[in-house]
Amino acid sequence: MSTPPRTPADLLRSALDQDPSRPLVTFYDDATGERVELSAATLANWTWKTANLLQDELAAEPGDRLALLLPAHWQTAVWLLACSAAGVVADVHGDPAGAALVVSGPDSLAAARSCGGERIALSLLPLGARFRERPEGFLDYAAEVPGQGDRFVPYAPVGPEDPFLLPPGEQETLTGDAAVGRALADAEAMGLERGARVLSRRPYDTWDGLSAGLLAPLAVGGSVVLCRNSAALDASALGKRSEDERVTHTID
């Protein structure tokens, strides 16, 4: 009998083993009209490259705190899973001043400058494009990540009891095992069955948003349709999207 996944990175590996071609994260930005669909294989490729960037280029070590200043976005999901793989603690919307490194979107660059360590910026433009002009004092993620390796092996083993996530507004850092356990409990509370496809409109500014928009669906072998800037969608448009995406559960 195989060992149940006990970290978010394990959940990704499990999805990859089961069906690498299955859509795992589908992202909509209704402010730009962007739609991106990542299969398990594509999400894993981005995740392993990002974990290699963390470990090799940024010299991040297990237990280092990374201030993750990003909205609900497919690239945020990549960073969360990469942190899990590399043993780096994702402090979501945490204070950059005391962090070892910071990952910022275009709207949080001013706050990110308080970090004395490595600073990485994401344009959040469609298709993961580069900044038109790289922000001073930051590495451009889209320029740095393509050259990283497609396979990732941590220099030091990362286990389920290692710290992984400090959810927004919370004081206690979750281990990988605790995060998966909490996500499984959420999935049960939401009625998610094995293979559920969840449409989430929640931002990534609480545990509930992180869980509904990534961790709980992955914990039950499901997938997520992550919607950003969707407040203006009426019931008809939302219903059409749910039908097109074969959504089984909608979380507002």
Residue 252 exposed, middle or buried by CB count within 10 Å (0-12, 13-18, 19+): exposed
Q: What is the mean pLDDT of residues 187-202?
A: 97
For 42-87, write each residue's pLDDT tens digit: 999 999 999 999 999 999 999 999 999 999 999 999 999 999 999 9
Q: How far apart are CA 198 and CA 139, in angstroms?
A: 33
Q: Calculate mean pLDDT across residues 87-99.
A: 97
Model pTM score = 0.96
Reported confidence tier of residue 5, pLDDT bands at 50, 70, 90: confident
| Percentage of residues in the chain having pLDDT higher than 90 | 96
Q: Give the pLDDT mean for 6-13.
A: 96
CA proximity to 126, closest of 29, 13, 227, 24: 29
Residue boundaries of the structural domains of the chain:
8-251
How is domain 8-251 classified at the CATH fold level?
Rossmann fold (3.40.50)
Residue 1 has pLDDT above 80, yes or no: no
Instruction: Indicate the burial class of 250 (C-beta count within 10 angstroms; 0-12, 13-18, 19 or more).
Output: middle
Q: Kindly tell me if the per-residue pLDDT of 101 is higher than 60.
A: yes
**Residue whose tokens read 């990002």:** 50
Query: For 121-134, what is the mean pLDDT?
Result: 94
Q: What is the mean pLDDT of the chain?
A: 96
Taking the C-alpha atoms of residue 190 and residue 52, their distance in angstroms, rounded to an integer, is 34
pLDDT in tens, 151-171: 999 999 999 999 999 999 999
Per-residue pLDDT, averaged over 232-251, amounts to: 95
Check if the beta carbon of residue 82 is closer than 8 Å to that of residue 51: yes
Contact 154, 176 (CB under 8 A): no
pLDDT per residue over 219-232, tens digit each? 999 999 999 999 88
Task: Look at residue 2 in the predicted model and tell me its pLDDT.
Answer: 58
